[in-house]
Every structure is written in C-alpha cells, then in structure tokens.
Amino acid sequence: MFTSSLFTLLPLLASIQSTFALDDTSARSASVYQIVTDRFARPSSVSSTCNTSDRKYCGGTYASITEKLDYIAGMGFDTIWISPIVENIGGTTGEGEAYHGYWTLDPDGFNSNFGSADDLKSLSSALHAKGMHLMIDVVINHVAATSSSTFQPDSAYGPFSDSSDYHPFCWISDYSNQTNVEDCWLGDDSVALPDLNTESSTVSDYWNNWVKTLVSNYTLDAVRIDTVKHVPKTFWPNFVSSAGVFTQGEVLNGDATYVGPYQNDAKVNPFNYPAYYPLLRGFNQTSGDLSELVAMTQTIQSNFNDPTLLGSFLNNHDNPRFESTVTDTSLIKNAHAYPFVSDGIPYGYYGSEAGFTGGADPANREPLWTSNYDTSSEMYKFFASLNAARKAAGNASDTFYSTQMNITSPSSSSILIAKQPLISILSNSGSSASDSSVTVQSSASGWTANTQVIDAISCETLTTDSSGNLAVTIKTGLPRVLIADSKKGSVCSSSSSSNSSSGTSSGKSAAIKLDVQAGWMISALGAVVGGLMMAL
C-alpha cells in the first residue's frame, strides 16, 4: 500500500522539481545575480586577508552562499549564477591560483575548495525552496595547463587524456580569422588553455552526456557557457539540447552581425556585448553619445532572432567595473538601470550594490564580506527598486518580457525606453546638471488622459495631461522608471516612507511571498515523502 502510494507520488515530485528549470519563456522574467563563488561569502571562522592582486583562494563556499540567500532575494534577484564547479589545476601559477574556477583539469572531478557536492546540492535545494533558480558556469572550449607548446595530456585530465582530444598547439593570433579563433589556444606561457577538439565525436559526445548529468545531479535551472565563440557553431545545438535548460553564452564581441548567428544558428542565447560597449561610452561621461546606443538597438533587432533572450549587463568578472572609471552617482545609476528596463535578461554583478570600484581582472573580483552585506546602502535599495518595477510590469502585462522595446532620444543627453507598461528615461547629464524636462507622448506609453504614474526610483507620483502625455522633470540627472499607478503592484507601497525603503520593501515582499509559497510546497511534499518512507 505504502509502496504504491510512494510510486504514485514520485511523478508529482518530478513535476514539481521540473517547474524550477528555466526555458526560453520563463527565463525572460528572471533576474540574475552573478557570484564569484570564492569571493561572495565564506565561513565566519575564516579571517585571513583577501587581496585581489594575490589571485589566491579566499575561502568562499557554497554553504556560505546558502546562508546569504535572503540578502540576494532582498534586492529582487531570483536567480544566481555561480562559478564553474569542476576540478581545476592546483598550486600557484604565474597567474595565481584557480580561485575563479575557469582552469579545468578534470571535468569529472569536483573543486573541493568551494565545499562538497552535497553542499552544492543543498544550495540548489535552498534556492528552490525560496522559488529561486541556480545557474552554473561551464567551460567547454579548453582545459588548463602550466605548459604550452610542450603540453602532453595525461590521466589527470580525466576524459581528455589523449593528445587526439586537442587541437595542435598554436596561440590565437588573428581574431578576424574564425578558424584561428576556434582551433588555436587561449592563455599564455604561464597558464595555457589547451583547446579541445570539439569536432571529434569522442569529445562532443562526452560533453553532451556530461552536461545532461550535471543538470540532473545538481537540479540546475540554467547553464552559463564560457568562450562560446571559440567553439564551432555546429557543436552547440546538440549541447544545448542535451542540457535541457536555458543557456546563456559568452560571445565576447561587440559586432551584432558577428554575435547574432550564435543565437540564430548555434542556439545559444548570447550576452549582449553589442549593447555593452555603447552603453559604457554613452554613460561614462556627461558628453557621451547616446545616439550610438539607440542605433545599436536597431542593429541588434535586425541581427538576432529574439533580443529579449539576450543577457543584458553592465558589470561582470571579465570587464572592469563601470565604477572604476566613473564616480558620478547619477551616471552610475543610469547605466545600471539600462539592463533592467530594456530588452533581455538583466544580470547584476555581486558588489555593484556595495559600490565596489575594482578595475580590470583581478581587481574586479573583490571579497563581498568586506561590505558586511549592508542592505541599507543606496545601491542595494536601487537594485531592489529596479527589480520591483520590472516584476510589476511583467505581472501587469503577459507580453512585457517578450515584446521588443522602442528607444528614442528626446534630447542629446537622454533616451526614452518604451517597453509597455514600463517607460524609462535615462540621462547622462550627471548629478550636477540643472533640471530638464522630457515629454512622454501617449503614443509611446499607452497612457490615457489623467493617468496617475509613479516613478519606481523616487516614488514621486505624476499625472498625464488631457491627451495622455506626461511632462517629466529630470532632477540631478537621475533615471526615471515609470509605470501607471494602477499597475505598480508593490512598487513604492503605502507602507514605505521614502524611495529607499519602498525599494527594499518591494524586493523583500516579493521574496517573502515566493519563500512562503515554494517553501510550503516543498516542505509539505517532504513531509509526505518522509512519512511514507517511515511507513516503509
């Protein structure tokens, strides 16, 4: 009897578990917080100094991330992206230690520096209990070695112990030559990255089986793929299919005509590097050219099958933090707002909420524990406000995430992003600028006469005129993120007394709601299964 009941319940459990996995449709509404596992959180018993210039392990663990999930959810992020988990080369090299996880030794092995496999599974379960998702980074193109032209693989490289698993040694020397990009090696004489022969069925079959097992073992919801452009496009469709979850891939190139085919043909949704570069140039100074970003939006829409599936970002682990060269708070806020109010899946990089200013790698991989996980900081609340506004727009419109935006430039120092029901005005006039006015036409917003509109950032309420148009004042160069009051959801809720408190309250309210719903469901199922197992 009990055995029969258990088998009846198992399909239900599998169904519940699968609801967390992201596909193209559900991924659009995700908001991702990127973590460098070694640098986000560590046990309180570890007190050693973490100098980024040393490029050494600093003690970050999966268990410590699990303890800080409320910190992440409080900003409204519902997905975390963590570093690669596989066994890396050990010891200290000319480039430091493999604390970042990208120097694969044996992909069948596990990097115990971050904790155990069970710790990672516990992190996955804890995320799902909060209605959140787990994305893991994977490196398919290469392994790592401290030798280059003399590299000879051995059993330490697990499935790739034979020289036939690799392309012959040559450094990438010509990025305009795609064969050179795909067949030659990244790295240098300190740490070479031997390039795997992914055209070999032995190699490709291994990776396809490996990623399927990886997703299953850790109940992954999405996969981030490193160095996508260094592998032939023909490799990726089977890999993506084998993963069975949403994939976001790094194609580090600013040319939309180059990056577009990776989505269209390779079936990997790239990060939006074509928009990243004009975003930097547009907001890193008060004289930045915003028309370049407007034009690039049109180019992207012409070269990608679906721009709403691109990964939109300002900071990450590979590029200097925006704040390393820009100190104006208004410019920083406008630039950070763009990924959250435009097309695509927004990615926030850990430490942005703490005001970190690290430059190029390794300076941009600071330990977050030095910030004491301050939830009262201005930028922490700012991200909570952005996520709350985006979530409210998605709740108010079934087509918000999938409908492509329209960007115009009402002035030389501003852009208007119309992605109904969210209307955003971003400016690069800077914090010292005088007040200026921008009119949002009803044709762009869809607002009618005398519509009350709320700014998710300042919590100021405005009202459209008799034609549905809205005159918006840009104050001290700060961004405006606008939504009709009737559709605001928990944005700037009445229990809040200011923009700062409303942003945090909105993010936390959403997180609490998810926690209660998902936690109750999983706890209830756990109790049922536990009872059945005890009966057996």
In angstroms, the CA 293 to CA 408 distance is 10
Using the predicted structure, report yes or no on whether residue 531 has a pLDDT greater than 60. no
182 among annotated binding-site residues? yes
Using the predicted structure, report yes or no on whether residue 437 has a pLDDT greater than 90. yes
Catalytic residue among 38, 226, 323, 343: 226
pLDDT tens-digit readout, 378-387: 999 999 999 9
318 among annotated binding-site residues? yes
223 in helix, strand or coil?
strand
pLDDT tens-digit readout, 159-214: 999 999 999 999 999 999 999 999 999 999 999 999 999 999 999 999 999 999 99
Check residue 516 and give its pLDDT. Answer: 35
Question: What does the DSSP assignment read for 273-340?
Answer: HHHHHHHHHHHSSTT--THHHHHHHHHHHHH-S-GGGSEEES--SSS--GGGT---HHHHHHHHHHHH
List CB contacts of 213: < 8 A, sequence separation 6 or more: none
In angstroms, the CA 141 to CA 238 distance is 15
State the chain's mean pLDDT as an integer: 91
230 among annotated binding-site residues? yes
265 among annotated binding-site residues? no
97 classed as catalytic: no
Check residue 394 and give its pLDDT. Answer: 98
236 among annotated binding-site residues? no
pLDDT tens-digit readout, 5-59: 444 444 444 444 456 899 999 999 999 999 999 999 999 999 999 999 999 999 9
Structure tokens belonging to residue 94? 């000319």
133 among annotated binding-site residues? no
How many Å is the Cα radius of gyration of the chain?
24
Using the predicted structure, report yes or no on whether residue 469 has a pLDDT greater than 60. yes
CB atoms near residue 354 (< 10 Å): 17
CB atoms near residue 434 (< 10 Å): 9
Using the predicted structure, report yes or no on whether residue 460 has a pLDDT greater than 80. yes
In angstroms, the CA 437 to CA 90 distance is 58
**Model confidence band, residue 494 (pLDDT cutoffs 50, 70, 90):** low
430 among annotated binding-site residues? no
54 classed as catalytic: no
Using the predicted structure, report yes or no on whether residue 411 has a pLDDT greater than 50. yes
SS (H, E, C) 63-77: HHHHHCHHHHHCCCC
Q: Which domains does the chain have, with CATH numbers?
A: 24-396 (3.20.20.80), 406-487 (2.60.40.1180)
List CB contacts of 38: < 8 A, sequence separation 6 or more: 57, 58, 59, 60, 83, 99, 100, 101, 113, 114
| Amino acid sitting at position 88 | N
Q: Mean per-residue pLDDT for 508-524?
A: 39
142 among annotated binding-site residues? yes
Q: Quick one: which of 170, 240, 160 has its CA closest to 203?
A: 160
In angstroms, the CA 334 to CA 251 distance is 25
In angstroms, the CA 343 to CA 345 distance is 7
pLDDT tens-digit readout, 200-230: 999 999 999 999 999 999 999 999 999 999 9
The answer for 108, left when phi > 0, alpha when psi is -120 to 50, beta otherwise, is alpha
Bridge pairing between strands 222-225 and 422-427 = unpaired
Number of helical H runs and strand E runs in the chain: 16, 20
Q: Mean per-residue pLDDT for 258-284?
A: 98
pLDDT tens-digit readout, 392-407: 999 999 999 999 999 9
The shares of helix, strand and coil residues in the chain, as percent rounded to the nearest 5, are: 40, 20, 40
128 among annotated binding-site residues? no
254 among annotated binding-site residues? yes
Using the predicted structure, report yes or no on whether residue 3 has a pLDDT greater than 90. no
| Amino acid sitting at position 482 | L
Say what angle helices 256-264 and 291-303 make with each other, to 10 degrees: 30
In angstroms, the CA 180 to CA 503 distance is 48
Check residue 493 and give its pLDDT. Answer: 83
Catalytic residue among 250, 343, 366, 515: 250
**Model confidence band, residue 335 (pLDDT cutoffs 50, 70, 90):** very high
**Percent above pLDDT 70 for the chain:** 88
Check residue 529 and give its pLDDT. Answer: 36
Check residue 348 and give its pLDDT. Answer: 98
**Percent above pLDDT 90 for the chain:** 88
In angstroms, the CA 57 to CA 274 distance is 33
Check residue 18 and give its pLDDT. Answer: 56
Check residue 484 and give its pLDDT. Answer: 98
